[in-house]
Chains A and B, each alone.
Chain A
Amino acid sequence: MSTTPLSDISLPGLFRCTNIDCVGDAAIQLKRLGVCDGRSIEVMQPGDPMVLRVVGARIGVSRMLAKAVRVEASPPALAAAVSIGANVTSDARGQIAVVGSTKGFADAEVVSHV
């Protein structure tokens, strides 16, 4: 699957982080807030800075830093789940869990392999 810099994302959607291409404080700040390899990132508000949802929390990230984050699109089913308001989380192995959907995706947990 092709990857793209997070800064190039212009529409809200669900993505998976494939690489963090920076080092130092900035990389550590990103990673400890949950933007690290393999994890799911929901772009809530594109722009500069952009609003992301990671590990259940919203974070603001400047475009300069978002350039260093490479992402790939998540499967359509999961993007659809996000669009109807399901809470989506993913672990670093690529297992993405949809929890508490309102339209029957799952009441407990649905696991999709990416």
Chain B
Amino acid sequence: MSETGSPELNILHGTQQAAAVPRIALVGNPNTGKTTLFNRLTGLRAKTANYPGITVDLRKGSIQLDGREVEVIDLPGLYGMDASSPEEKVAKSILEGTHAYEAVPDAVVLVLDATNIERNLFLASEILDLQLPTVAVLNLIDAADKADIKIEVNRLAEELKCPVIGVSSKKGTGFDQLRAAMNNALQPALTILTEQHTSCTVGCSGCTFAARFDWAQRVSGSTVSAPANLGRGTVAIDRVVTNPVFGVITFLGLMLGVFYLIFSISGIPMDIVDGLFGTLGNFADGLIPAGPVNHLTWFPIAAAASMLVFTGSYLAAKIPWTKTSLGVAVVVSAIVGVLPIDDFRSLVVDGVVAGVGGVVIFLPQICILFFMISLLEDSGYMARAAFVMERLMRVVGLPGKAFVPMLSAHACAIPGIMAARVIENWRDRLVTILVLPLLTCSARLPVYAMVTALLFHDSPGMAALVFVGAYLLGIGAALLSAWCLKKTILKGEPVPLVIELPAYRMPSLRNAFTTIIDRGMSFIRQAGTVILLISVILWALATYPRLPADTPLSSEGAARIAAGTGELEQVLAQEALSYSVVGRIGRFVEPVFAPLGFDWKINVGVMTSFAAREVLVSTLAIVYGIGEEGAEEDGTLVETLRRQTRPDGTPVFTTATGLSLLVFFVLAMQCLPTQAVTKRETGSWKWAALQLVYMTVLAYVAAFATYQACCSAGLG
């Protein structure tokens, strides 16, 4: 650079263009509509790229420029190259060529908010200093026109010394010029002019911030004129929504509306998903021969079907075909090939289809939640939510930005954990992720419903009180755990709030739908891999060893048949589960769970609901001998549970046992998809393991205390 501060000529010789497909990165401040622009450029062809050991995903898409394929990368938004959040660090590392898996892009599209150019020019000055071929985009040009902001585009291009294109990502205007400019930027040996940003600051010598703001102000002042009343609407709305009292009320009211929407409209798609998996199970059942088969002809069919499932899973999880992965697939497929036909049927219908279906049923809730969060984020409101909750959250050592993920977790922990990405500070984000699963998600509701019906069927008031108590217990445990984590293994004060409150704007439905597809696919990939694996393992543990055909019925089973309280099929299912590995473990660990009031049958429920907690209800239905269908009949399960007695004749499900079971399920992890997402977002199984261990210990201790306290109070 010239020491005089005058523009100087640099020639880039295309050294970064070694990749076969040219790559262009979109760079910009948060709230500039960069993602909307990316979605408009790439349509639905975009993919999410993730890297081993790196928790930040990148969105990439291919576009055609002048007949050749070009990869566009949507870098995370950043305010400056002094990166602080993990997302900003990834953006910076790519731009500077220090990213482990991504080379420096061949060109950069610098996205500027046309309604506030001065703010954006600080980052622009840093990006231009990188001397990469750059195209500046004035996004939201329609909003700037509407606000009567006049921008001298040609003069701005002279100042920035790169092409400047005005676009409206929402309306799609200006994209032909943008594509042409992007194509030009990829031509080799592009001439780049740079300008040194010297500071004349008094009392801030050497402060590059002041120097860049000086430059931004000068450039903005000479190219932009804005009316005096700019932003008055936003200020007026903010008087209410950032008010310490009305702001909190507005926020809680809005979130209440979001939850009402989720729970009122997700029922239909959830029923559809349930129906689809039911149909799929029946279809698979129909395909499998009913009678004996020739093993020589059946083996290749079953093994090939298994290999097909492995191929799909490996593709979804991006697991390469190595010797180990191929070996696992071949060995498991060979075992599947030699399974007796009835076991194969059970594996497909009860293990794979029912196991995955039981988790995918929550996809509609997750998608609706993401849709609403995307709309609120796009509108600019989410920054206000973090603002008003800042002081309250600080009490437990978390930033205000942690509140939205915590609220989201009341529908499902998975979108909550993903929404924690808004928290810049890694330690604060980690604490939030670790405590989120303590909040009552919708999968706990069947368990709460069962226990309250069991204990307080004739007292709706008490039932409601216990229900609310369960919610409050989850919230209290999450906040207390956050406080403890911040005082122990993740020590540190939360980073104080500094947040831009962007102008309100109409949210983009297109963005919201793209978010749904992106996050939904991510969830389905999890379902097709880790969840599938655990479902099959749990199925195997609950199925084997098989009850020998000539085994006489147990005295309890025979008594039930004789008394007419159970059908033969139900009794056999009960005895088969009791004979299985899970049944044996249930008995083996009985002394461990006895202080919680659990008998071996409840232990079996706890174990089989490890992957998905709502499975407890159907497992208890089987283990208590009324069959899986019995769980869906109102009252049948509850009546059956109420009749259960211990060997000494006392009832199993006393108030003490019921409340202990409830407390255990409020606090225990019992959700494999959440664990998988925790691993993905933290980049390590270590944190997922910590989450599992501390929640299980917490659940055990709290359930123990509950049971013992209730027994002492005469409720046992």
- A residues apposed to B, CB below 8 Å: 18, 25-26, 28-34, 36-39, 44-45, 47-49, 51, 55-62, 64-65, 85-87, 89, 91-94, 97, 99-102, 109
Contacts and interface: CB of A to CB of B under 8 A. Distances in A.
A44 B234 CA distance: 12
A59 B496 CA distance: 13
Interface stretch (B164-172, B209-217, B683-691): B209-217
Contacts of B276: none
The 4 closest A-B pairs by CB, nearest first: A37-B204, A65-B496, A92-B201, A32-B80
Contacts of B231: 58
Contacts of A29: 79, 84, 495, 498
Nearest to B84: A25
Contacts of B217: 55, 89, 91
Contact of A60 (B118, B207, B210, B387): B387
Contact of B214 (A28, A32, A56, A91): A91
B118 A56 contact: yes
Contacts of B218: 91
Interface residues of B, number: 55
Interface string B494-514: 011111111000000000000
B143 to A, nearest CB: 14
Query: Which of A31, A64, A99, A102 is the most central at the interface, judged by chain B CB atoms within 10 Å of its CB?
Result: A31
A92 B199 contact: yes
A80 B498 CA distance: 27
Given A36-B204, A36-B207, A55-B216, A49 B391 contact: yes
B294 interface: no
B291 to A, nearest CB: 69
A25 B119 CA distance: 19
Contacts of B488: none
A56 B117 CA distance: 9
Interface in B605-632: none
A34 B387 contact: no
B209 A60 contact: no
A59 B500 contact: yes
B636 interface: no
Contacts of B116: 56-57
A92 B204 contact: yes
B300 interface: no
Contacts of B383: 60
B252 interface: no
Contact of A85 (B229, B239, B390, B499): B229
A113 B226 CA distance: 23
A26 B203 contact: no
Contacts of A57: 116, 119, 500-502
Contacts of B496: 26, 61-62, 64-65
B124 to A, nearest CB: 13
A18 B201 CA distance: 12
A60 B228 CA distance: 22
Interface string B383-410: 1001100110010000010000000000
Given A38-B204, A93-B200, A60 B497 contact: yes
A11 B363 CA distance: 48
A97 B118 CA distance: 14
Interface in B115-139: 116, 118-119, 122
A49 B387 contact: yes
Contacts of A56: 116, 118-119, 220, 226
Contacts of A59: 498-501
Given A37-B210, A55-B216, A102-B229, 5 more contacts: A32-B79, A51-B238, A58-B231, A61-B498, A89-B217
14 contacts: A25-B84, A32-B80, A36-B213, A38-B201, A49-B390, A55-B119, A58-B235, A60-B501, A61-B496, A62-B390, A62-B497, A93-B202, A99-B228, A100-B228
B228 A87 contact: yes
Contacts of B82: 28, 32
A33 B242 contact: no
B202 A58 contact: no
B275 interface: no
B203 A34 contact: no
Query: Which of A49, A55, A64, A85 is the most central at the interface, judged by chain B CB atoms within 10 Å of its CB?
Result: A49
B238 A55 contact: no
B155 to A, nearest CB: 16
B461 interface: no
Query: Which of A32, A33, A59 is the most central at the interface, judged by chain B CB atoms within 10 Å of its CB?
Result: A32
B253 interface: no
Contacts of B79: 29, 32-33
A108 B394 CA distance: 44
B235 A44 contact: yes
Nearest to B115: A56
Nearest to A58: B501
Contact of B202 (A31, A38, A101): A38
Contact of B203 (A37, A51, A86, A100): A37
Contacts of A30: 498
